[in-house]
Amino acid sequence: MPPARDEITRLRVPGVLGADQLLLADADPDARVWLRGVVAGRFGLDEVDTGAAALERLAAGDTRIVIVGRRLADMAGEELLARAAPYLSERRTPTAPVAPVTFLLADRTGETPEVDDREIPVFYRLVRGMDPKRVGELVAQAAARLPPLPPRDPDPALAALVAEHAQVIGAQAEPDAAARTAIAAVIQLVGADRARCLYCDEESGLIWSGAEAPDADAADAPVSSGLAGFAVRAVAGVVVPHAADDALYRAAIDNPGGTGRERLAAQPVAGPDGHVHAVLIALRDETRPPFSRGDLDKLEALASAWAPYLLQLSMRVEADQILGDRLDRGPSDIFRQEAIMHLMRRGQRGDVVRVHPGWIRAAYWLVLAALSAALIYAALAHVHQYAEGAAVVRFTGRSELIAHEAGTIASLDAARGQKVERGQVLARLHDLEQVGQLKALETEFESKLVAYLQSPADPAVKQALGQIRSQRDSARLGVESRTIRAPHAGVVKEVLVRDGQRVEPGTVVLSIVQDQAAEGLKVIAFLPGGERPRLRAHQALRLTFPGYRGAHLDSEVRAISDVLGAADARVRVLGDRLGDSLPLTGTVVVVEARLASPAFEADGETFQLHDGMIGLAEVRMQSRSLLESLIPGLH
């Protein structure tokens, strides 16, 4: 018989929410396995893969939180949300006096079902692969918004029956006999066709059958094996409609000799110490109904009642093993027969006998405190790595005016410190020849223009006028190129030539700086080229000045160049005026940073910055803790 699509796989955990309060409606098996692992040990979870089953669970009124995926077996997630609106909206209805909190679960493409948040408020949209701790916090936050469900009244008849079975099981002196009695109790309590009792030792990490004849597959197995192992890890009951449909199912552990289509329920038996000592497994034929909520309650009650007896049995078995080992070793064993018998009667181990002097204990704690302090210091103290190199201060508003033609300075119309306006003539080269040529061309242009006006249809006259116009414009440009004008308003900073001096193309004649240019101060640092991979924008930069004790300015890196040769850097960055001022060798990387202040302090005095000042720049590239520096593998 094929499995019914609307049956429920349930993970019961006595956590913050209690059983049957978290409902997952999604047909994607990977999503169900992921969420099952996320909530294991913390919340109760129901899983359905059809919209019909989800609507039935919501109508029951005991669902507190619902998680809806994008695809179900019989409808899309959007359709389920639309049909479940009476249960999920914040408006109270007789069937759902407390509306569940709604989560949406994205599919493999990252898309969640579409829903009108005004009709159904969505608490959060979950994405597969989220941090399980974060998902748990979100579910806990959602649960905190809901009033608690009223507690269920215990069934006196069930409590009496479970207590009777637990006493019978606890009266058994051998583990195999106790397992056989537990199997009979499980079959009677939940109406199972078959049952299993597996013992678990978390210290050795093994799980084994306590009542069946050992076989090659299931004599001893890792505690992580099968659905039984999952119940041990989650400390929670597990119900599967068809055992083999679950990816965790292992036939040799969970259902040896079965077909895999059986109904399966597994319940761990955890002692007062919090450790799981056994797992009870109930099995039904697939033609029978799946295990119900009441069946899970019965298994959980039986496990809780048997747990104290099982802890005593495990201690007795351990004491018997110690006694057997002593008898095997002979009279040289350090344990007396009376001590072992006392251990059996008390049921728990004692403390270790201490024979060392008191100062050793004090010294131990002193050394431990010193080591802890050293470790904390190594973790908190940081070691910085710097890149250092020469640097120069420049004004960002400074403009250097150069000669575009070779010639002699005919006039200087500006002096150092003089304020100038944009376009103002600052210097002229000797241009008598160019001016004379321009005047002759202008006279000829006027005559050609008169001829053109007299005969505008004559093509020869028109062509001659165009040629003379071009010659005149070229002559004007020649005269203008020998005139140096201010590109912007500002103050003349330097005059580098004198009247009558011969200059070549590219020679700096003078420089001007914009008003309030102090805010545009920048520092250009030349750092070793090998440090380029470690340099990044916004790293801290400190500029110091040799000869000024304690003087420094702090800034941050704004721009970083590629690796340049020293000669190339001088030409491209420093120019002729400052090219020989810095001792650059090898390869360098040019780093720029802005300076917020036009002055610096040294020895209690304030000094102004000047264009071209030389300093030393250091950039903090990396910062590691002392512990990471001592142990590189931690980085």
User: pLDDT band at residue 341, thresholds of 50, 70 and 90?
Assistant: low
Q: How far apart are CA 431 and CA 359, in angstroms?
A: 101
User: pLDDT band at residue 6, thresholds of 50, 70 and 90?
Assistant: very low
Q: Is the pLDDT score of 347 beyond 80?
A: no
Q: What is the predicted pLDDT for the residue at 219?
A: 54
Are the CB atoms for 97 and 87 separated by under 8 Å? no
Q: Quick one: which of 304, 305, 259, 256 has its CA closest to 281?
A: 256
Q: What is the mean pLDDT of residues 63-72?
A: 86
Is 158-317 the same fold as 9-144?
Answer: no
Helix, coil or strand: residue 164:
helix
Q: List the domain boundaries for the chain.
A: 9-144, 158-317, 387-395+515-630, 398-513
Query: 317: Cβ–Cβ under 8 A, 6 or more apart, which residues?
Result: 175
Q: What is the mean pLDDT of residues 117-131?
A: 79
User: pLDDT band at residue 147, thresholds of 50, 70 and 90?
Assistant: low
* Residue 92 CB burial class (10 angstroms; 0-12, 13-18, ≥19): exposed
Dump pLDDT digits (tens) for 17-64. 333 468 888 888 888 888 877 776 566 677 888 988 888 888 877 777
DSSP secondary structure of 1-39: -PPPTT--EEEE--SSS-TT-EEEE---HHHHHHHHHHH
Q: How far apart are CA 624 and CA 635, in angstroms?
A: 8
Bridge partners (DSSP) listed for residue 268: 279
User: pLDDT band at residue 218, thresholds of 50, 70 and 90?
Assistant: very low
- How many Cβ atoms sit within 10 Å of the Cβ of residue 594? 16
Helix, coil or strand: residue 535:
coil
Q: How far apart are CA 221 and CA 426, in angstroms?
A: 96
Does domain 9-144 fall into CATH 3.40.50.2300?
A: yes
The class that CATH gives domain 158-317 is alpha beta
Token couple for 224: 């992580």
Dump pLDDT digits (tens) for 508-556. 878 887 765 444 688 989 999 888 898 999 899 999 998 898 888 999 9
Q: Quick one: which of 285, 278, 327 has its CA closest to 304?
A: 278
Q: For 320-355, what is the HEC assignment?
A: HHHHHHHHHHCCCCCCCHHHHHHHHHHCCCCCCCCC
The fold for domain 387-395+515-630 equals Elongation Factor Tu (Ef-tu); domain 3 (2.40.30)
Q: Which CATH number describes the domain made up of 398-513?
A: 2.40.50.100
